[in-house]
Chain A
């Protein structure tokens, strides 16, 4: 019998054998026909071919919101000790607060780590333990001395808000290998960066590439927990929904959007199971939990440890891009305009042990070679003081490190002047960073484009160069 829907939008019905496929079966019932046609395009984040053989499959991006001080972390400058308290002997650019003081030496000692002997300050002993995995870049520059602009630029290559972030580009370029998890996840530690959460957004790219923001509390993802008291009740509803949508799907076979919309319920249902599952770390061994700092005295070490552990679980399952934001409650983000020693110590305390543990864990599981790690803030800090014991923003030179898939470990690249103020060798911008990240993922940053506003837009705009010295 032909229904009213059929008469309005359907083609003549054809008999099909329903395939019983999919997690719950409700959508499959509806989509027997579609799945025969093309199974791959049915998943909105289906993996896509790379431009060339990738080194890394996934990215874990440690976003050090606020701006880590390079001269206190990865770029030691003995001259600061010597000239501590003196007026800067170089020209000082206008800063945001314009309250610039004298040269301020680093309160931390530097040690050389590993065979490569990369010097790292006492803020990061756990990360230091993996020095031979790191490529430290000391010649990064930012496009703006303001948090929001620099944040936008770090994420999207553009100082304005509204452009797609690198995670969205990675998702757009590569899709995901997980069929029950989104391709791009922000593990939100609770500190909303200045500029707002939309800096992680997909901009003009299709919303498919919008990040899923996992909170540290519960629920991990908004609308991921069914509101029905019992899952079985929701399942029953979905089954009933599938029955009635099924007839629509058959009759509207020509409307691909409706087929996909129905398939999305499959994915959503799988996500309802997979997301809480990936967030549930109760199955991890005691040793692992301890290594990540889940029993640490400092609350933020525990939180960031849980995020790092979750990051591993996500990349294990094929999620493409995981970005971690830091936690509130360290005094401030890495933005120590005052109280440098206290603020940086707390921030480092929160992230150092978990990141060190994550590197080790990934290595142990053979995942490090297929995972690209990036650790960076949006800019660095001035070698001279703001007020008595703080440092202002410094976009003209700062450090970051990369490790894992595609990265030549034990490398130091680029240099700032003897004060750590301006880059004097191998200057890089975020465009270069993005180009190299995409390269590790098997993508040519010049070929990864999206037609928007009459242009083929790239993450790297018209810039970006590869740095062979840090690549394997």
Chain B
């Protein structure tokens, strides 16, 4: 039998405790001296300073520690043992009373006197003799009254029932089953439903519920004109099919996931690409993505085997799903980065618990849930999944198209490069003679004069380049003569001559230059070497044996194309860059991007080094998944930009984060992917981005030229070497050092095939470039990827410095059946499947209830975000289950559910309460009538724009619109203020900056983007009156509306009627026309000013913002 290591470990840890118990209970009778010491010094001290919190008599025992009995300290508390008899310096209790800065100070408020501390030390030093022998069992008394089985009996955790539709007396009233449930509830109480709402009211109500916009005049007209039976149904279907539907319902979901685009705190950093998540939601609601699919995407959209591709554009939609997770707040340079992680993860756990299950999982951070079937282990199970996942900017560009083009591109490149290498091979033959001719020319007297001129000190403003050009020009005649005499390509000769005298030499060719300058072999070798770096066995360079554990995302690093030559996308230059040894992106195209991340490792406080080269890339050392790596006084140093064609060493100092887990992240296109400053969005992805990381040692060049330097005919030897390298390249057998040399030869132009003379190469190059252009440009979104699967043991009492010894394998919520997560990664996919299941008792109920509350103003369970004990019980449990069942039965279709709800007769009732109903059911829980609703903030703003005619109804998507914040105080983090009318865009497109929310929208209860909010507050405060009375936006819009009315022509009465239709979606009454005429008269006649006044009053009329 093989020994189980876990068991052995446990025995080892338990054993000493057993010994200790044995000794203390039986072996050591207390000496009278010790007894006296205890009774005189220790017992009173403990009683005075510790029993308040650490005795059985305490109102609340703190830290699970009892000090009123020996067994108490023997057992220890939540933080483990507190006394090691005989060893005060190892005893937690002593460290705490000494107020050692690394431990919690005890007693918490006032320190013990020096003498008292000394007494305690002495007592422990004596072996903590303690006469207070009680039964050990008593000490085990805890406040452990958490009973999972009992908690699981709560109604919302029971399976969704198959319920029968109830019978009703007024059988002709119901239109569908919803009505039967509602009516049955009313009849049971002896009540009857309200009569139907008028057509105009109904249209306004349903339009606002479905799209957040009031009906336009023409919509009103056509509905009023349609007297057919199906008129209302037609309207409902039109609204469900309108793109405005998605805009409205996406906004609801944005509340639930505490959507925001900035990080709050001091700098209010902008998170890039958040708007694309918003657009994803709008598309998802418009195309009615089944809710189970939506859930899978939200929790594990990056992990789906078959991601959902957008039918029109082909982009990967699924991977955008987790985009809300990291929409947390964030501060730069936290001194306690681990504590910061707990804060940020807590926000994610809270959102995920509330959004999908309406469970306050986050309440189990410090202890098992006070009321619900949620354990602290559940909380840390989710924590573990987040630890096992990493923020990732995913490229959603159509994956199928990308793969197809990539294959063609790879072939095109292979064919092209074969020709290039062949040309080099051929051309190299002549190099020997070229070098001889140059030497010959340099022997001439004229050359000597020219060279002296070349080497004179530069004059002010003069450039070496210009000097060199003149030098070459003056040499040209002589060189050409030599070339024509020898029958050698004059251009080639000139090129080499020029290069030889150019002071700028790529390091790869330094050896060659020494060689052809006739330096001795040793010098050539020295110049060819990388110096001391070439042999460096750097600490964190990727050793090839560990490379397999690194995690690559995106095609860039995954691509099998490793020829190491990066082609330029324009001009006559073939190569953009060359990679020697290493893994890289960009070898086919910058658009085939990627990110490479190391496994987690624990920082030991020493430097973390690696070698990189590339453009527009970044390397970050991400400690504890810290998103703002690269910002702040300390964490700012953990991000380095990569913008060099040559190898550069990056070295991260880590002493501040010793002991923390971290990973390295190499990001192609990393320059834009970061929390930005105050304004804007990252630049478009670079077209010439690439990045390479050295694997193992850097390539050696020394052998390449050293051989030639020893040869008699150096020219010939050089020619031979070059043609041999080209041949190996053509055959795919080139070494990394040779590759770098060949690349340098091509890039420097020395061996660059003249495209004029090689039409076949030009043709293939152009073809390659054309294909590369077909690759879709990257479109980045915020998502996550799996890192290294990691379990997270419980943080005792929520304290991250106090980690439980008990293992806590990642598992699904215990109250919902538990079970280990085993999806081969973080566990998110398994978790997602458990949530998106018809067997989950909460998912469908919670979703149906949210939708119900959006339609009827109040959930069947009023607390839409809490299905736990504190959330209470639903008003119509049967209806809730009935709808949940049919929801899942209808393929989790949101639109079908909404359709059913608004087609119900219940929804079409008037909002006038029946006689006595205000007293009988003041909160309208049983829906005897439809409630009157106040429009929410966005709808109010949109409606004002709609009336004024400035609303750009059809303009969808894209970067958010800056909010007008002229009224907000200046500060360092204040961004540019936007237009007063927001460019006429719908409010869902307004930027959500946590520190600078629109005060107009805030006045009408826009949430503060911090907490998941399933149901907004609806307040009614004077600030709203002040906003509608005096806000410059309202005045601006009143004026625009007035102009619109006046330019429309017609009589005053016609104009007044129009204004009423636009504002209230109904015809004006005679009394209102009278009122309107009076307003105009009193405000100065039918002038623009008077009309502005009238429109302003229309906006201020209560009916403008209330829905009946």
- CB 8 Å contact bits of B186-221 with A (1 = contact, 0 = none): 000000000001100100000000000000000000
* Complexed CA–CA distance, A254 and B914 (Å): 11
Q: Given contacts A223-B1027, A264-B1020, A454-B870, is CB(A422)–CB(B99) below 8 Å?
A: yes
- Cα of A244 to Cα of B1099 in the assembled complex, Å: 12
Min CB gap A97→B, angstroms: 6
Q: Which residues from B are CB-within-8-Å of A273?
A: none
Give chain A residues whose Cβ lies under 8 Å from the Cβ of B1108: 8-9, 252
Is A44 a contact of B1020 with CB atoms below 8 Å? yes
Contacts of B634 in A (CB 8 A): 97-98
Contact residues of A between 218 and 266, Cβ < 8 Å to B: 222-227, 233-234, 236-237, 240-241, 243-245, 247-249, 252, 254-255, 257-258, 260-262, 264-265
Question: Which of B634, B656, B912 counts the most A-chain CB atoms under 10 A from its CB?
Answer: B912
Is residue B77 contacting chain A, with contact meaning CB distance below 8 A? no
A356 an interface residue at 8 Å Cβ cutoff? no
* Residues 469-489 of B contacting A (Cβ, < 8 Å): none
User: Does B268 belong to the interface (CB within 8 Å)?
Assistant: yes
**B993 CB to nearest chain A CB (Å):** 10
Question: Which residues of B970-1002 are within 8 A (CB) of A?
Answer: 970-974, 994-996, 999, 1002
Residue interface bits B1073-1108, CB-to-A below 8 A is 1, else 0:
001001100110000000001001100111101101
B837 within 8 Å of A (CB atoms): no
Interface residues on A, range: 35 or more
How far is A112 from B968 in the complex, measured between Cα atoms in Å?
Answer: 43
Measured between alpha carbons, how far is A234 from B1092 in the docked complex, in Å?
Answer: 12
A192 to B1032: give the CA distance in the assembly, Å: 24
B171 contacts across to A, CB distance below 8 A:
none
Report Cα–Cα, A226/B912, bound state, in Å.
36
Q: Is B1019 a contact partner of A212 (Cβ separation < 8 A)?
A: no
9-residue interface stretch from A127-135, A141-149, A402-410: A141-149
Determine which of A149, A215, A224, A424 lies in contact with B1030 in the assembled complex, contact meaning CB atoms within 8 Å: A224
**Cα of A41 to Cα of B1010 in the assembled complex, Å:** 30
Bound state CA distance, A44 and B1017, in angstroms? 15
A206 within 8 A of B: yes
Are B1010 and A252 interface neighbours, CB within 8 A? no
Cβ-defined contact, A210 with B1023, below 8 A: yes
**A241 x B268 contact (CB < 8 A):** no
Interface readout for A321-347 with B: 1 if CB under 8 Å, 0 if not? 000000000000000000000000000
Asked if B335 and A95 make an inter-chain contact with CB atoms under 8 angstroms apart, the answer reads: yes
Q: Does A115 contact B (CB under 8 A)?
A: no
B860 at the binding interface (Cβ < 8 Å): no
B968, A197: Cβ atoms under 8 Å?
yes
Least CB separation from B872: chain A residue:
A454
Binds A, one of B106-114, B844-852, B895-903: B106-114
Q: Does B288 contact A (CB under 8 A)?
A: no
A198 within 8 Å of B by Cβ? yes
CA A265 – CA B1093 in complex, angstroms? 17
Question: How many angstroms between the C-alpha atoms of A146 and B1108 in the bound complex?
Answer: 49
Q: With A222-B967, A248-B1102, A264-B1022 given, is the CB distance from A453 to B865 under 8 Å?
A: yes
- Contacts A161-B329, A262-B1102; is A212 near B1097 (CB within 8 Å)? no
Chain A nearest CB: distance from B363 CB in Å? 7
> Looking across the interface, which residue of chain A has its beta carbon closest to that of B1029?
A268
Complex: how many Å from CA A351 to CA B968?
Answer: 24
Interface of B is mostly: loop
State whether A9 touches B911 (Cβ < 8 A). yes
- Determine if A44 and B1083 form an interchain contact, defined as CB atoms under 8 angstroms apart: no
A207: Cβ under 8 A from any B Cβ: yes
Complex contacts, A147 vs chain B, CB 8 Å: 266
Q: Whole-angstrom distance between the alpha carbons of A262 and B333 in the complex?
A: 49
Would you call B1003 and A207 a contact (CB within 8 A)?
Answer: yes
Task: Verify if A350 is at the interface (C-beta below 8 Å from B).
Answer: no
User: A425's closest neighbor in chain B, by CB?
Assistant: B110
The complex places the Cα of A148 from the Cα of B994 at a distance, in Å, of: 14
Contacts of B201 in A (CB 8 A): 8-9
Min CB distance B1082 to A, Å, is 6
Given contacts A7-B198, A247-B1071, A453-B1011, contact A206 B1017 (CB under 8 A): yes
Does A23 interact with chain B (Cβ within 8 Å)?
A: no
A3 to chain B, nearest CB (A): 5
At the interface, yes or no: B156 with Cβ under 8 Å from chain A? no
The answer to whether B1019 and A267 touch across the interface, beta carbons within 8 angstroms, is no
Residues of A near B974 (CB, < 8 A) are 192
Contact of B971 with A5 in the complex, beta carbons under 8 Å = no
CA distance A425 to B49 in the complex (A): 13
Give the residue of A234, A244, A272 whose beta carbon is less than 8 angstroms from that of B1075: A244
From A146, A162, A271, A426, B1010 is in contact (CB under 8 Å) with A162
CB neighbours of A145 from chain B (8 A)? 335
Is B1025's CB under 8 angstroms from A227's CB? Answer: no
Query: Would you call B932 and A96 a contact (CB within 8 A)?
Result: no
- Shortest beta-carbon distance, A120 to chain B, in Å? 24
Which residue of the partner chain, among A4, A215, A234, A451, contacts B1067 with CB atoms under 8 Å? A4
CB-CB < 8 A to B198: which residues of A?
7-8
Contacts of A299 in B (CB 8 A): none
Residues on A with beta carbons closer than 8 Å to the beta carbon of B1075? 240, 243-244
Contacts of A203 in B (CB 8 A): 1008, 1010
Contact of B1021 among A207, A234, A252 (CB under 8 A): A207
Q: Which residue of A lies closest to B1004 (CB)?
A: A207
Per-residue CB contact flags for chain A residues 196-209 toward chain B (1 = under 8 Å, else 0) read 11100101101110
List 6 tightest A-B contacts by C-beta distance, closest first: A162-B1010, A192-B971, A454-B870, A268-B1025, A196-B995, A454-B866
What are some 27 contacts across the A-B interface (CB < 8 A)? A98-B634, A145-B335, A146-B331, A159-B343, A162-B1008, A190-B970, A197-B995, A207-B1005, A207-B1023, A223-B1027, A225-B1030, A234-B1029, A236-B1083, A244-B1101, A249-B1102, A255-B1106, A257-B934, A257-B1018, A261-B1024, A261-B1106, A264-B1024, A271-B1022, A272-B1026, A428-B109, A453-B866, A454-B363, A454-B871
Chain A residues close to B by CB (< 8 Å): 1, 3-5, 7-11, 44, 91, 93-98, 139, 145-149, 159-162, 182, 188, 190, 192, 194-198, 201, 203-204, 206-208, 210, 212-213, 215, 222-227, 233-234, 236-237, 240-241, 243-245, 247-249, 252, 254-255, 257-258, 260-262, 264-265, 267-268, 271-272, 422, 424-428, 451, 453-455
